[in-house]
Amino acid sequence: MKLVYQDIDKDNEGGVALIPEEPEDMWHAYNLISEGDSVRSTTIRKVQTESSTGSSSSNRVRTTLTISVENIDFDTQACMLRLKGRNIEENQYVKMGAYHTLDLELNRKFSLRKQEWDSVCLERIDMACDPTKTADVAAVIMQEGLAHLCLITSSMTLVRAKIDVNIPRKRKGFVQQHEKGLAKFYDNVMQAILRHVNFDVVKCVLIASPGFVRDQFYEYMFQTAVKTDNKVLLDNKSKFMLIHSSSGFKHSLKEILQDPAVMSKISDTKAASEVKTMETFYTTLQCEPAKAFYGKKHIEMANEAQAIETLMISDKLFRCQDVKLRKEYVRLVDSVRESGGDVKIFSSLHISGEQLEQLTGIAAILRFPMPELEEEDSDGD
């Protein structure tokens, strides 16, 4: 994301102009824009014109509109953001108060104004405009006949390709058919890697499967690369890493990212730190339950005692339409930081973020045990 200008006064009111440069920047924009904000961008509007003879014609014109956002829709597959709202600035083609939908697209500038910029939004702008966030990971999770190619960025897990090939069973006299089916499957997976993985950015490609499927595929891929003299694969051979998974489905990604060998390989990516924090939370919950809590009520009580060492919170909570509730979460984040705690904002499009959402979207590891919180829970029951 490119920051064109930032003009926020001491009362935290003002605006910024941004240019999204990568698909992931759309995710940051989705988290920045709230209902009630005003967004200014160029758009195409259909305009009806009537001639002196009474005949009307319609043509499409490009114009710049400023709308007050009422509805936000994010398409994860196309990485496109659609904002609906009323026009709030004079325009020769669009009346004041008329509804219009703005489509925010890559490499097209937009301006965003808020009545109040909170610390979470300002932090997200810093994160989105930080060029060091490109340490990314790709993962191919496979089993015989099924593979999922995922790209794990610092904010989300995107399934870029699903390969499903029917492989004939290995029966007497039909071995050739089985091998043909496997070769077709492996070739499809290899083509998906070449199509979707940008080796200039991706620093690690995980290939995971139950049994020996990953080894057979890895062997097939590099034998083919040598035969066809595929420089892209041969030059990046060191980036591939084989690992065990229980299945070829997306949910196996969780166990893959928890593997110590994988953790050391991708240790400097945000995804890895989220997974590690989540693992620490579950371990604490099992071994020292009085030091791990989830749910807004318990977290706020622990914060009052300045007991929070690590706060985990889902970015979904900051997108809630209830302004009062959103402010409460921002206040909580600021308060934890003031008392020296670490705050991790999990992305709801990550495997770890999905896990956190199952635990109400907010959880914490405490500095010291607070058994009174557990007792309160049983009293409440």
CA distance 354 to 271: 13
266 has a pLDDT exceeding 80: no
Indicate if 278 and 257 belong to the same structural domain: no
- At 268, the pLDDT band (50, 70, 90 cuts) reads low
- Interhelix angle for 296-304 vs 323-338, to 10°? 40
Query: Is residue 255 located within the same domain as residue 150?
Result: yes
- Could you give the CA distance from residue 138 to residue 158 in angstroms, rounded to a whole number? 10
CA nearest to 350, candidates 199, 141, 163, 155 = 155
The string of pLDDT tens digits covering residues 42-67 is 998 887 777 777 777 888 888 999 99
Q: What is the pLDDT of residues 276-288, one digit of tens each?
A: 899 999 999 999 9
pLDDT of residue 111: 95
Strand partners, 83: 72, 102
Per-residue pLDDT of 137-147, as tens digits, reads 899 999 999 99
Q: Angle CA(336)–CA(338)–CA(339) in degrees, nearest 5? A: 65
Alpha-carbon torsion 62, 87, 93, 59, what sign?
positive
Last residue of a domain, one of 266, 281, 315: 266
- Considering the domain architecture, whether residues 182 and 210 belong to the same structural domain is answered as yes
pLDDT greater than 90 at residue 376 = no
284 and 316 together in one domain = yes
Enumerate the β-bridge partners of residue 140. 149, 207
User: Is 122 in the same domain as 156?
Assistant: no
Q: What is residue 280's three-state secondary structure?
A: helix
Q: Domain end: 100, 129, 158, which one?
A: 129
Q: What is the average pLDDT value for the chain, to the nearest integer? A: 87
Distance CA 180, CA 111 (A): 54
- State whether 303 and 331 are in the same domain: yes
Neighbours of 372 (CB within 10 A): 12
In whole angstroms, what is the distance from residue 102 CA to residue 66 CA? 9
How far apart CA 332 and CA 120 sit, in angstroms, is 11
How many contiguous H segments (helices) and E segments (strands) does the chain have?
A: 12, 16
State pTM to two decimals: 0.66
Task: Name the domain boundary from 228, 243, 266.
Answer: 266
Element (H, E) at 18: strand 14-19
pLDDT at 381: 45
Q: Any alpha helices (H) in the chain, and if so which ranges?
A: 23-32, 119-128, 175-196, 213-228, 231-235, 253-258, 260-265, 270-287, 296-304, 323-338, 351-358, 371-380
Q: Read off the amino acid at residue 104.
A: L
CA 133 – CA 155 distance, rounded (Å): 10
Mean pLDDT of 293-300: 94
What's the structural domain count of the chain? 3
Q: Which pLDDT score is estimated for 135?
A: 46
**Domain membership of residue 247 as a residue range:** 133-266
